[in-house]
Each structure stands twice: as structure tokens, then as C-alpha cells.
């Protein structure tokens, strides 16, 4: 019998960055954290020298100052090369990339790679399966009110997180949340859309990846329509795309 995907190799991935613009901001740290059999088997955060000032608002979130980044960080081009290499290795092995709100992280890597390396993940053949705990939560707990930040998801799914906004801590926590979500949504009793959503333990990771593409688009279209109904601007085309948007789609 094939081992369920959540107990096979998983690669938690996270960035801490200079800001929230995924096409123009850059990483100040990154982390890959490996899991096997549901256990964290290693990984850590690597600092990046972004080559630009880190805004005070970003420093307030992750605590990485200009001085520390300059002293301890990898040059940005080297860091992007390492990140791309790690993601492409996972892609070759078809190891699931796990995180929270991964269109932000993966799209930033794509944009940075285009600028720094002259090619992007997609051009290099990236096609690893992706598991995004935010997409799963928005789909299976659609009507739950309140925030959906990673620390909130950790509380909901019983995952301990100490030191949020450290890239390695967040990457590991996202994997643990994903594993917990599979158990939590192993029956339809724990979500309100009974009969319309598959139980998570019945899906292969390839099936889950494909479903998340549609789940994210459904959420994005509904949210965009609500924004318009409130007299606000709807989402841009790139915000409809999961798990990776390019600058061209913006």
C-alpha cells in the first residue's frame, strides 16, 4: 500500500521579505525544512542581504535589520540561486512544497530569479506539487470567521509555534498544520460543505495540487466580487493564479 503523502518527504518553505509586493520586494531570509514520517528532520533559516534598505514596517514583523542583513546575509543573487536550486531539486523528486500563502513566496522567487539569474522557475521546469494550508483552510473552513494568519491556523489545528516570522519556524509550522489538516478533515464532519468536498485523506498529493488551483480561483473570484460590491477595486488577474504568478500576469 502506498504511504499517504503527508507521511512521505515534505519540504516546508518560507520567506521573510522587504515588503508585501511579491513582484518587486525581495527576501531577507529563507528556509527549507524537511519532514519525513511526520517528523521534522532538519533545516534552518538563512539570512539574505537584500542590497536595499529594509523598511521599518518589515523589520517590525521579522526583526531583521539592515545591519544584521549586511553583516550576516548572503548576497541576494547567491540566495536566489540557492532558493531556486532547492525548489528545482524538490521538483525533480516530486517532493511536495508546503507553506502558507505560497503564491506570495513562489511568485517572489520567480520574479527575483528572472532579475538576478536571467531565468525563472517555470522556464527551468518547476512543477513540484504544492500544498498551501491557507487554500485548504479557506476551502474546508469557508464560513469560519476571523483571521487566517499562520499563527491563527496553528492555534486552530493544534500546532505549537514559538517564534513566528522566523522563516524556519514558519516553514515547519506550515508542514505541521498541513499534516493536522489531513487528520482534521478526514471526515466531512469537520466542514460544512458535506458531500461537495473530498476528504483530505482520500487524495493523492497530485490530486490535491490540481484541486487547489480551482479552490483558490473560486475564493479569489468570490472575494473580488465582494470587493467590487463594496465599491472597491477587485483583485488583479495575477491574484487569481495559484501557486505561482508571473510579472507578465500582473
Distance (Å, whole) CA 230 – CA 142: 20
Give this prediction's pTM. Answer: 0.94
Total tally of structural domains belonging to the chain? 1
Phi/psi at 222 (nearest 5 deg)? -65, -40
Bond preceding residue 13 cis, omega within 30 of 0: no
Q: What is the pLDDT of residue 193?
A: 53
User: pLDDT of 146-159, one tens digit each?
Assistant: 999 999 999 999 99
Q: What is the pLDDT of residue 162?
A: 82
Q: What are residue 98's DSSP bridge partners?
A: 12, 131
Residue-number span of the structural domain to which 152 is assigned: 5-245
Q: What is the pLDDT of residue 2?
A: 63
Could you tell me if residue 106 is inside a domain?
Answer: yes
Residue with cell 494568519: 149
Could you tell me if residue 204 is inside a domain?
Answer: yes
Which run of H or of E encompasses 237?
A: none
Spans of the chain, pLDDT less than 50: 1
Residues 6+ apart with CB under 8 A from 236: 250
Distance (Å, whole) CA 107 – CA 11: 17
Could you tell me if residue 115 is inside a domain?
Answer: yes
- Specify whether the CB–CB gap between 18 and 108 falls below 8 A: no
Could you tell me if residue 219 is inside a domain?
Answer: yes
- Specify whether the CB–CB gap between 91 and 110 falls below 8 A: no
Could you tell me if residue 217 is inside a domain?
Answer: yes
Could you tell me if residue 44 is inside a domain?
Answer: yes
Nearest-CA neighbor of 25 among 55, 46, 60?
Answer: 55
- Specify whether the CB–CB gap between 40 and 33 falls below 8 A: yes
User: pLDDT of 160-173, one tens digit each?
Assistant: 988 767 999 999 99
- For 165, other C-beta atoms within 10 Å of its C-beta total 17
Distance (Å, whole) CA 67 – CA 9: 36
Could you tell me if residue 250 is inside a domain?
Answer: no
CATH of the domain at 84: 3.30.420.10
* For the chain, percent of residues with pLDDT exceeding 90: 90
Q: What is the pLDDT of residue 248?
A: 75
Distance (Å, whole) CA 125 – CA 140: 31
User: pLDDT of 38-58, one tens digit each?
Assistant: 999 999 999 999 999 999 999
Amino acid at each position: 500500500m502506498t504511504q499517504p503523502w503527508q507521511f512521505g518527504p515534505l519540504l516546508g518553505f518560507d520567506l521573510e521579505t522587504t515588503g508585501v509586493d511579491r513582484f518587486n520586494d525581495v527576501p531577507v531570509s529563507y528556509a527549507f525544512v524537511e519532514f519525513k514520517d511526520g517528523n521534522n528532520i532538519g533545516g534552518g533559516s538563512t539570512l539574505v542581504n537584500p542590497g536595499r534598505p529594509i523598511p521599518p514596517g518589515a523589520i517590525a514583523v521579522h526583526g531583521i535589520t539592515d545591519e544584521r542583513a549586511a553583516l550576516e546575509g548572503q548576497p541576494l543573487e547567491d540566495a536566489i540561486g540557492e532558493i531556486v536550486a532547492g525548489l528545482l531539486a524538490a521538483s525533480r523528486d516530486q517532493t511536495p512544497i508546503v507553506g502558507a500563502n505560497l503564491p506570495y513566496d513562489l511568485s517572489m522567487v520567480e520574479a527575483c530569479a528572472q532579475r538576478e539569474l536571467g531565468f525563472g522557475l517555470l522556464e527551468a521546469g518547476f512543477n513540484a506539487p504544492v500544498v498551501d494550508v491557507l487554500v485548504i483552510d479557506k476551502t474546508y473552513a469557508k464560513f469560519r470567521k476571523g483571521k487566517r494568519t499562520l499563527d491563527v491556523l496553528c492555534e486552530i489545528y493544534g500546532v505549537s509555534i514559538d517564534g513566528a516570522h522566523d522563516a524556519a519556524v514558519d516553514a515547519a509550522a506550515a508542514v505541521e498544520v498541513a499534516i493536522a489538516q489531513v487528520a482534521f478533515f478526514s471526515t466531512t464532519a469537520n466542514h460544512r460543505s458535506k458531500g461537495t468536498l473530498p476528504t483530505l485523506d482520500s487524495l493523492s498529493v497530485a490530486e490535491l495540487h490540481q484541486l487547489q488551483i480551482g479552490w483558490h480561483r473560486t475564493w479569489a473570484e468570490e472575494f473580488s466580487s465582494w470587493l467590487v460590491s463594496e465599491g472597491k477595486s477587485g483583485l488583479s488577474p495575477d491574484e487569481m493564479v495559484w501557486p505561482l504568478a508571473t510579472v507578465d500576469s500582473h
